[in-house]
Structure 1
């Protein structure tokens, strides 16, 4: 069902099938992330046409959201539409503004009280729903976001970081380079697989990775850490002997000579995590995004200016400030310091 260049996404029996460049929830990437035993969400027949139009719009060239964000938005929109199909609402929420506001507020209550979603997850769902509502022309709903206690983004502990890096060192050349780009470069998963050979600039003493179209369409250049530089040079040398090396501009190739897919990179990182004895995935110690968060957290806590961290990772300054927030481990350690009378 999934290829390394495009994905044939269907609506799981709810309507049409179309070839697009973004794997949806029914695709292999999201199959890997879905909880074991969970079925793909079906788009109700009444909403198939509008959902397909949304998917097509997200797949057009120039879309400012990166592929991972688009996949998440499509998945969350499917879940909203499935809920909406059975909800008791007045009017048509996809046409009427008052009906829209009431429906989205009810959906927020459902996510909190029935689905038992975390506050941050509820807010993420509402953001995705608003994006869909803008597409259908009714505009975002007047539904307040949940107040989320501030804490540091999820990052690896020092011990697990060391285990990860040692396992990456044992991986093959491609796996090692992928792992190092995620950690030493702090790139998003979609940014990694979008790299071309020409996006790596290495001189006698230094080098940079060029991210041409990051989140929000932002361009940035990331200086190469010495470990990452060595890993990329090793991989580029090996890559020259792979099928498709001369014809495909992609930095990371699959075994057939095409561009490595997000799923392919995910599987490679998962194998390295297994070697490090780290659970990988949504509920594990490690996710592709937690490597990026680990980079940001380490930089900020080592005294690097937050403005510079934002520039390196392609964040806003406000987002980068989150790396200075305490982690759950920090909070627990602080509590344990209280005096005990024994």
Structure 2
């Protein structure tokens, strides 16, 4: 059961996770300081298994929403009254679309964060429709960006190289990547299987390894044996102290590879760690794999896996560019 954040002690919350370089956090209005602090405590609960990006994005979007509430004249309190909650969410949706000119995907992401916030207030999600999205495949790296990412990955030290290839060829979510143990790898001379034991919604899955990934993991395992702490933990990817690498640090590694490869990093840019997962799904779909196989490999529902069969923005542009011009 989701707890009511107004019942939590606002003095126990931790500071927000790091922001992107150059970003400035929206300040929380004074009258909402306590309720925001309690919400921050709630989303930092490790039992939720939220990755760092999700947690950071939720907190950022809720701060922006609270700042908008503070500057908006509403007839009622949206943090107490369900009817005012609904009107506030709808008006904020219109504000994001028409005033701030946000994309539909961004607007929907804000509404998702606000729904989570309202649930933890004990109100439940607002009755606000999501903005219809273009019928496109999820954002993924194009062929040139893929090659640049792989070439830069090849230049990394064994641990980071293994992480980059695992993210690219196996498509784990970031929390799945860092949760891997050495006994989750079953490698033989001709094949390999990577086991995700606790995926989204607790799903278990097995991912067959690409030959390149198998080779790089074998190389890393040889080096790992000599690393600090290797004999004290089963964690596959270790930090410099010999413990399990955190999701934040793993994200930094992947972002660093992309940045050095000349790929724009950030949730509104070309690259996030999750884009690698979408890239794998899109590649599999373009190469003719059926959606059932894609769903099994990535731990998706069939409905989600079908999205990879939709055209990308690059596909639509290519279709237009093929038009004959009569001059």
Matched residue, 1:253: 238
Spell out, residue by residue over 1:176-206, the C-alpha distance to the aligned partner (whole angstroms, 9 max, x if none). 1111111100111222122222322224433
- CA change 1:139–1:182 in 2 (3 A) is same
The alpha-carbon deviation at position 130 of structure 1 amounts to: 0.8
Spell out, residue by residue over 1:28-70, the C-alpha distance to the aligned partner (whole angstroms, 9 max, x if none). 3x334xxx3x311223332233333333333435426545333
- CA change 1:75–1:213 in 2 (3 A) is farther
DSSP-derived class of the 1:221 partner: strand
Matched residue, 1:11: none
RMSD, aligned α-carbons: 2.1
8 Å CA contact 2:52–2:248 kept in 1: the answer is no
Matched residue, 1:172: 157
Query: What's the TM-score once normalised by structure 1's chain length?
Result: 0.86
Q: Report the more deviating stretch, 246-255 or 64-73.
A: 64-73
Q: Verify: 1:94 aligned to 2:79, yes or no.
A: yes
Q: Verify: 1:84 aligned to 2:84, yes or no.
A: no
DSSP-derived class of the 2:288 partner: coil
Q: 2:145 aligns with which of 160, 183, 187?
A: 160
Matched residue, 1:4: none
The runs of 5 or more residues in structure 2 that have no matched partner are: 1-9
- CA change 1:190–1:64 in 2 (3 A) is closer
Matched residue, 2:128: 143
The alpha-carbon deviation at position 300 of structure 1 amounts to: 0.7
Q: Verify: 1:18 aligned to 2:8, yes or no.
A: no
The runs of 5 or more residues in structure 1 that have no matched partner are: 1-14
Distance in 2, matches of 1:201 and 1:42, equals 48
Count of matched residue positions in the alignment of Structure 1 and Structure 2: 318
1:1-342 matches, cutoff 5 A: 16=11, 18-19=13-14, 26-28=16-18, 30-32=19-21, 36=22, 38-63=23-48, 65-342=50-327
Distance in 2, matches of 1:61 and 1:281, equals 24
Query: What's the TM-score once normalised by structure 2's chain length?
Result: 0.89
Distance in 2, matches of 1:17 and 1:58, equals 13
DSSP-derived class of the 2:48 partner: coil
